[in-house]
């Protein structure tokens, strides 16, 4: 039996970090104001800019503040979390302390009497073969075990290097249509996951390209809703971004959270 709710809010790609205080504050406000008005909240990955292990939260006042905000929210509405490509090392300890329920990627849920397939989105970017190879390795339990046994400062150093590489790649993508296509989801991957989940409505994040798509491949047809990333701290480079997807009896629409 898949989870069933009359209303829900879905968010992803907040990339929370102490260096982005306006974005973090908007998330705290979201937890107090908008989120309690629905029956369930789904966080579809990349809640944090990076995560090097649940043990790191003990030395991070910022991560503890986020933890408290989600724990408080979880006392009011059912809150779910699905791994992203930046924070796939979030483990059972953090999930338990926040009161969230973990979802596998992908998962199916029933919201407002409609079946929805939820995913972070990175596994759907199958044209980026290099990333998919990297992803297959870092998701192996034995690789994660080795990494989590490294000293905390080493793990942070690796995360910082990966962040730097990702930022450079994103900057290059902005100026290359070919690379944008390579790093977006493919219809083949979307069609496959929807066939596997027996669904025709897909919600994901990761690509930072919020939009509603009506798509088809062969005889298969589906809807695809893409969640926005959040960034209220860098208006000099990109317009401020923060939204959630609201689903209830009135339909499906984006909720603008920039205030």
Q: Rounded distance, CA 229 to CA 120, Å?
A: 12
Residue 114 in 3-state DSSP?
A: strand
Tens digit of each residue's pLDDT (9 = 90 or more) over 2-55: 989 999 999 999 999 999 999 999 999 999 999 999 999 999 999 999 999 999
Residue 81: CB atoms within 10 A of its CB come to 21
pLDDT of residue 162: 80
DSSP labels for 7-42?
-EEEE----B-TT-HHHHHHHHHHHHTTGGGSSEEE
pLDDT on residue 166: 64
DSSP 211: E
Burial class (CB in 10 A: 0-12, 13-18, 19+), 7: middle
% of the chain beyond a pLDDT of 70: 93
Flag whether pLDDT at 230 surpasses 70: yes
Residue 113 predicted with pLDDT over 90: yes
The answer on pLDDT for 145 being more than 70 is: yes
The pLDDT value given to residue 177: 58
Identify which of 104, 111, 79 has the alpha carbon closest to the alpha carbon of residue 199. Answer: 111
Total residues belonging to the chain: 259
Spatial distance between the Cα atoms of 137 and 116, rounded to a whole number of angstroms: 28
Query: 161: which 2 tokens?
Result: 């290097």
Give pLDDT, residue 183.
80
Average pLDDT over residues 119-134: 95
* The pair of three-digit structure tokens given for residue 41, joined into one six-digit string: 């909240």
Residue 179, pLDDT score:
58
**Number of structural domains found in the chain:** 1
**Distance between CA 23 and CA 243 in Å, rounded?**
11
Instruction: State the pLDDT confidence band at 164, using cuts at 50, 70 and 90.
Output: confident
Under the banding of pLDDT at 50, 70 and 90, the label for residue 128 is very high
Is 214 exposed, middle or buried, given 0-12, 13-18 or 19+ CB atoms closer than 10 A? exposed
Domain ranges, residue 217:
4-256
pLDDT score, position 57:
87
Order of all β-strands in the sheet with 4-5: 4-5, 107-111, 114-118, 201-204, 220-226, 211-217
User: Average per-residue pLDDT in the chain?
Assistant: 92
Written as six digits, the tokens of 43 are 């966080």
CATH number of domain containing 56: 3.60.21.10
Q: What is the pLDDT of residue 168?
A: 57
Q: Residue 163 pLDDT > 90, yes or no?
A: no
Q: What is the pLDDT of residue 106?
A: 97
Task: Give 171-227 pLDDT, tens digit per residue.
Answer: 555 555 555 667 899 999 999 999 999 999 999 999 999 999 999 999 999 999 999
SS3 of residue 252 by DSSP = strand
Reported as a pLDDT band with limits 50, 70 and 90, residue 58 is confident
Task: Give the mean model confidence (pLDDT) for residues 88-105.
Answer: 96
Task: Find the mean pLDDT for residues 217-242.
Answer: 93
């Amino acid at each position: 039996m898949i989870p069933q709710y009359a209303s829900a809010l879905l968010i992803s790609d907040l990339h929370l970090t102490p260096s982005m205080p306006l974005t973090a504050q908007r998330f705290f406000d979201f937890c107090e104001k908008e989120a309690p008005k629905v029956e369930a909240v789904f966080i579809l990955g990349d809640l944090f800019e990076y995560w090097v292990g649940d043990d790191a939260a003990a030395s991070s006042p910022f991560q503890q503040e986020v933890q408290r905000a989600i724990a408080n929210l979880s006392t009011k509405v059912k809150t779910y979390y699905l791994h992203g490509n930046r924070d796939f090392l979030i483990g059972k300890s953090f999930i338990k302390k926040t009161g969230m329920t973990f979802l596998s990627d992908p998962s199916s849920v029933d919201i407002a009497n409609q079946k929805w397939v939820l995913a972070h989105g990175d596994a759907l970017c199958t044209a980026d073969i290099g990333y998919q190879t990297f992803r297959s390795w870092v998701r192996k339990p034995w690789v994660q075990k080795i990494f989590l046994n490294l000293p905390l400062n080493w793990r942070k150093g690796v995360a910082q290097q990966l962040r730097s590489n990702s930022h450079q790649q994103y900057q290059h993508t902005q100026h290359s249509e070919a690379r944008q296509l390579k790093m977006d989801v493919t219809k083949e991957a979307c069609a496959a996951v929807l066939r596997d989940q027996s669904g025709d409505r897909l919600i994901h994040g990761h690509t930072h390209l919020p939009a509603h798509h009506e798509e088809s491949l062969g005889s298969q047809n589906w809807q695809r809703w893409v969640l926005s990333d959040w960034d209220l701290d860098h208006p000099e480079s990109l317009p401020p971004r923060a939204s959630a997807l609201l689903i209830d009896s009135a339909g499906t629409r984006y909720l603008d959270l920039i205030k």
